[in-house]
Structure 1
Amino acid sequence: GMGFDRGLFIEGKNIHDGIKVMYKYMRKKNNPLWIFGLDPTDMGDYLSKYSFSLIEDIGSEEVRERYMKLVNLDLDVFEIERMALAEVKK
């Protein structure tokens, strides 16, 4: 399950020790990819506003199992990381 609110993480209000270094680095670099956070339960509605349909949204555990192990890639996937697949609405 979710350990914390992703929106609060992006705002710098709820940062766990294990990802503090990554957070500080991203903020220092002013990384434009980290503009806001979405609750996974809101993903479908959010994408729909932009004419996308959510096909799948998976959490960090499934990302590890499905993709990292498949190609024998030993990279950390943080709890906050998710992977979503969407398509343009027809």
Structure 2
Amino acid sequence: VTDMFLQYGADSNIYEEGMTIAHRAAAYNNVHLLRILSHHGNTFNIQNSMGESPLLVAIALNNMECIKYLWMDRIIVHQTLDEETVL
């Protein structure tokens, strides 16, 4: 269903309660959803209301599948809103 919505132009970067769908996918360790988002051009460099990328959300929750996917397969912005790096 998500794939169909995105195919017909749904915006995957809409915030709900401070997080995008990519942040929620990372929080729930849903690699399948991250792959669907990637297929539709999501770059995962958007930050939530706390300045975290989806990768940082996955790291905070120790969601290893999403960490591996986001870290190994994608170019990720690793800065917070105040331009601090995660390292």
**TM above 0.5, one fold?**
no
TM-score under structure 1 length normalisation: 0.23
More strand by share: 1
TM-score under structure 2 length normalisation: 0.23
**Larger relative contact order, structure 1 or 2 (CA cutoff 8 Å, min sep 6):** 1
Which structure would you say has the larger Rg? 1
